[in-house]
Amino acid sequence: MSTLVISDFSKTFTASTVPSTWSSIAKSGVLGIAYEAERNALYEANIAFEQAKNISKTNDWFRAHAELFIKYQLSESALHELVSNPAYYQPRA
């Protein structure tokens, strides 16, 4: 069985009072500290590309981060846990 995740990394779907869905995954700790370290390294290496509107590099970053979800086995149950907690997820009104 496959799980399709539709999420945002720039507050497209989430309220301004909570992190983006991608950030919530990191802040919740559901994937562990090794994931957080790799995610933070990707962020530091790539945030300047997003801010510079370098679409190609930002797409590469997006793909690399999605690969971390696979590597650290982001599960459907972890996603349910996240979206059920208003500290981590609130839809944009």
Per-residue model confidence (pLDDT) at position 4: 67
Residue 3, domain member (yes or no): no
Residue 88, domain member (yes or no): no
How many independent structural domains does the chain possess?
A: 1
Residue 10, domain member (yes or no): no
Segment 58-86, tens digit of pLDDT: 999 989 999 999 999 998 888 888 888 88
The separation between CA 88 and the C-alpha centre of its own chain, rounded to angstroms, equals 11
Model confidence, pTM: 0.80
